[in-house]
Amino acid sequence: MTTLTWQQTSSRLAQFLALTKPRVVSLIVFCAVIGMFLAVPFGVLDMRFAARALAATVGIALVAGAAAAINCLVESKIDALMARTRWRPLPRGQLTEMQTLVFASAVGGAGLALLYSEVNALTMWLTLATFVGYAIVYTVVLKPMTPQNIVIGGASGAMPPVLGWAAVTGDIPYQALLLFLIIFAWTPPHFWALALYRKLEYAKAGVPMLPVTHGDKFTRLHVLFYTVILFAVTLLPFATRMSGLIYFLAAVALGAVFLYYAVRIYRDYSDRLAQTTFRYSILYLTLLFAALLIDHYFYF
């Protein structure tokens, strides 16, 4: 009986964890942490910094998880129609809407309280605004209404490094905004690569993604267009002397590979190529921000 109860508890915890979209949240937290470390010189990495960074990381992760849960709640019917999301707890009936709402409220509230008490008010308010931007503005308003949902809603997804920067400095300088701009420009080619090979599922669910409303060729052109913009934007940290040669070389190399994939998508599209591009885009952002961090502490 005890073993069964433990198995049931573990299963329920796994279901709630699935609501938070752990893989997405892990990328959000990674970008936020990079923002924290980029905001300070090596000599400031003391116990006081560590305590604030830890509190900020946990708080941001909790609020991001709550936003993901609200997204799952609002899109449960859409998720049930799509192969990549029908396994989630709500479409499978493993959790109720009320359980999801209570969970998201508790987790999000705890995260905001932690940010306010242990970090600073600026980070708490910015994180709350990001929550509203993703869970309400993007999920409820933009996604079902316009094929530009990814572009406009990308602003909330680009906030993590700004949140991290504000957490340890209480300020938002131009460097933090450059990090925001990089993720903002990265979001369209990243997500439209996914939308291209999931077009039929989005059409079935009635979601007006760009390939559904404007066709593949138009979307492929926009993937290339935004990748070019992204390549240019990623050079701004070097141009403004925020970073040095290590980052510059990494940005050019990583960007060249992304451009290669974008050109191939435009000229010789296949679903397999779009899947590869989508997966690379995640690796690209991770390596780009890692290069920024390495460059920050080994600038030459």
Q: Which domain CATH number covers 155?
A: 1.10.357.140
Q: Quick one: 200 and 269 in the same domain?
A: yes
Residue 4 is assigned to a structural domain of this protein: no
Q: Which of 128, 149, 172 is the last residue of a domain?
A: 172
**3 domain residue, yes or no:** no
- Res 32: pLDDT: 96
d(CA 34, CA 165): 8
Residue 128 neighbours by CB distance under 10 Å? 16
> What is the chain's alpha carbon radius of gyration, rounded to the nearest angstrom?
20
31 and 146 share one domain: yes
How many C-alpha atoms does 58 have within 13 Å on its Cβ side?
Answer: 14
Q: How confident is the model at residue 154 (pLDDT cuts 50, 70, 90)?
A: confident
Number of domains in the chain: 2
Does 136 fall in a domain? yes
In a domain, 183, yes or no: yes
**Are 37 and 98 in the same domain?**
yes
* Statement to judge: residues 185 and 151 lie in one domain: no
Buried b (16+ CB within 10 A) or exposed e, 236-271: bbbeeebbeebbbebbeebbeebbebbebbbeebee
Q: For residue range 102-112, what is the model confidence (pLDDT) as tens digits?
A: 999 999 999 99
18-38 residue pLDDT tens = 889 999 999 999 999 999 999
Amino acid at 280: Y
Whether residues 237 and 267 share a domain: the answer is yes
Q: Is residue 7 part of a domain?
A: no
Check whether residue 180 and residue 166 sit in a common domain: no
Does residue 275 belong to any structural domain of this protein?
yes
| Of 152, 172, 192, the domain-final residue | 172
The kind and range of the H/E element at 167 are helix 160-169
- Domain of 210 in residue numbering reads as 174-300
For residue 176, pLDDT over 70 is answered with yes
Weakest mean pLDDT among 43-47, 50-54, 119-123? 43-47
Quick one: 125 and 179 in the same domain?
Answer: no
Based on the domain organization, do 162 and 179 belong to the same domain? no
The closest of 103, 209, 102 to 151, measured between CA atoms, is 209
Question: Cβ contacts of residue 63 below 8 Å, gap of 6+?
Answer: 107, 108, 111, 112, 115, 127, 128, 130, 131
Q: Choose one of 126, 157, 172: the last residue of a domain.
A: 172
In a shared domain, residues 178 and 267: yes
Residue 22 covered by a domain = yes
In a shared domain, residues 27 and 127: yes
Cα four-point dihedral sign 114, 106, 81, 153: negative
| pLDDT over 80 (residue 39) | yes
Please give the model's pTM, rounded to 2 decimal places: 0.91
Answer yes or no: do 95 and 217 share one domain.
Answer: no
Residues 6+ apart with CB under 8 A from 80: 86, 91
Average pLDDT of the residues in 69-82: 86
| pLDDT attached to residue 80 | 83
Whether 8 is in a domain gets the answer no
| Same-domain check for residues 218 and 300 | yes
Q: What helix, strand, coil percent values describe the chain, rounded to 5? A: 80, 0, 20
